[in-house]
Amino acid sequence: MMRFLLPLAAFIVLVGFLAVGLGLKPREIPSPLVGKPAPVFQSPRLHEPDQILSSKDNLGKVWLLNVWASWCVSCREEHPLLVELSKSGIVPIYGLNYKDKPELALQWLGQYGDPYTVSVVDPEGRIGIDYGVYGVPETYVIDKDGVIRHKQIGPVTIESLEKKILPLIKELQG
């Protein structure tokens, strides 16, 4: 009896490990910045390069910081959702135009719509490093005290919006 039970048990354990492994997303690395104050940045606006936006101006409100670029293919995937979200007026979305050329970025927004209250530029990816950005698009939920509450790696989806981001925003705004 043991002759069969033992290999069977080992096999089941192995299948269990593999099943869990299939569900893991190695590309999504938990950010150590969640629960920490969002790094402060002062950067020129995309539309008005002579004006500087400071992230400190957003203290007191819940906001989203969406890292995007015109060269980023997955950004196009999530873009319609962001446009819709901005129309709903639930939460202001600020854009971080990551390692992009302003003219291409403006053209891109013209083509696909501009959901951003303000976009700031980060041509060399320095703000990106401060925020631990390693793959655009990334979206941060930042609360009234300027603390990062959630980081979405990769495109925002209807599922992630409904299950995580919107309930969290509601809770933080309440």
Partner 1 sequence: MIPDLLNTRGRKQIMLLLTLALLSPLNWAKEAAPVAEDPVIEKRMLALSEDLRCLVCQNESLAGSRADFANDLRREIREQLKEGKKDQEIIDFLVARYGDFVLYNPPMKPTTYLLWIGPFAFLLIGAAILFFYLKMRRRQIEEPSLTDDQHRHAESLLKDDKGNNA
Site of interaction with partner 1 (CB under 8 A): 26-27, 29-33, 99, 124-126, 128-132, 134-135
CB of 150 to partner 1, least distance (A): 15
CB of 62 to partner 1, least distance (A): 23
Cβ-based nearer residue to partner 1, 18 or 88? 18
Distance CA 94, CA 72 (A): 17
Cβ-based nearer residue to partner 1, 115 or 128? 128
Decide: 121 and 144 in contact? Cβ < 8 Å: no
CB of 73 to partner 1, least distance (A): 15
Taking each helix axis as running N to C, give the angle between helix 73-88 and helix 102-112, from 0 to 180 degrees, rounded to the nearest 10. Answer: 60
Cβ-based nearer residue to partner 1, 23 or 174? 23
Indicate the residue type of 150: H
CB of 125 to partner 1, least distance (A): 5
Structure tokens of 104? Answer: 């291409």
Cβ-based nearer residue to partner 1, 92 or 125? 125
* Contacts of 104-110 spanning 24+ positions with Cβ under 8 A: 104/70, 104/71, 105/46, 105/69, 105/70, 106/46, 106/47, 107/70, 108/70, 109/46
CB of 142 to partner 1, least distance (A): 16
Cβ-based nearer residue to partner 1, 49 or 135? 135
Helix (H, G, I), strand (E, B) or coil at 60: coil
Distance CA 138, CA 75 (A): 9
